[in-house]
Amino acid sequence: MNDQTRTTLIEMLSDRGHTEIKDVDESLIIASKPNSEKKIMVYRVRDPKVSVKNIKQLKSIIDDYEAAFSCLIVIYKTSISTFAKQFISSEVEDILVQLFSEKELRFNITKHDLVPIHRVLPLNEKATLLSRFKITQLPVILSSDPVCRYYGCLPGNIMEITRESETCDLYTLYRLVV
């Protein structure tokens, strides 16, 4: 993993609130939040193409750890086989699995000039927002959106998007992740 990819990865983990980041070896990183048992495992596949064999190795690594992982991030070089994707969906259970190519992580998309400020609303703010404005429906944003993937959003989360405007300085939008 080159320096740019690693920097973006560390920024992504810290933006998700995981400040305790530990390098286990060249291909494995464990990140955790302070005062939380849930952790993120980042696994970098060294082979150019991810195969079922790589995913089986990853599954055995997950099983060896006693920690509870809430998310698994797999970083690959060029591509991932269809069979490997199927194996992930069938064998890795109760964990959000995100696949990122090294190319996707070469730069931090949240720092681009054209990307507004995004924030995932915590559960207490979500309830307050919905009750305060008596909202039954919100406009949607896909969980496959690059910024949603960056923040690890799940369907049901609400994104707060703050944009600049020529007429009113800043304004805030809310989007439901689907």
Same structural domain, 85 and 133: no
CATH number at residue 131: 3.90.940.20
Same structural domain, 168 and 125: yes
Same structural domain, 94 and 122: no
| 178, pLDDT greater than 90 | yes
| Whole-number CA gyration radius for the chain | 18
Question: How confident is the prediction for the chain on average, in pLDDT?
Answer: 90
User: If you average pLDDT over residues 156-168, what whole number do you get?
Assistant: 92
Boundary (domain end) residue, out of 107, 128, 161: 107
Boundary (domain end) residue, out of 72, 87, 107: 107
- Residues 89-117: pLDDT tens digits? 887 777 888 999 999 999 999 999 999 99
Same structural domain, 92 and 39: yes
| 14, pLDDT greater than 90 | yes
Same structural domain, 34 and 117: no
Same structural domain, 121 and 95: no
Same structural domain, 9 and 85: yes
CA distances from 12 to 16, 17, 52, 56, 78 (A): 6, 9, 27, 26, 20
- Residues 40-77: pLDDT tens digits? 999 999 888 888 888 888 888 888 887 778 889 999 99
| pLDDT the model gives residue 13 | 94
Same structural domain, 83 and 18: yes
Same structural domain, 129 and 89: no
Cβ neighbours for 89, distance < 8 A, ≥ 6 positions apart:
97
| 35, pLDDT greater than 90 | no
- Residues 140-161: pLDDT tens digits? 999 999 999 999 999 999 999 9
Domain that holds residue 143: 110-177
Same structural domain, 64 and 34: yes
| pLDDT the model gives residue 155 | 94
Q: How many domains does the chain have?
A: 2
Boundary (domain end) residue, out of 46, 81, 107: 107
* Distance, CA of 32 to CA of 21 (rounded, Å): 7
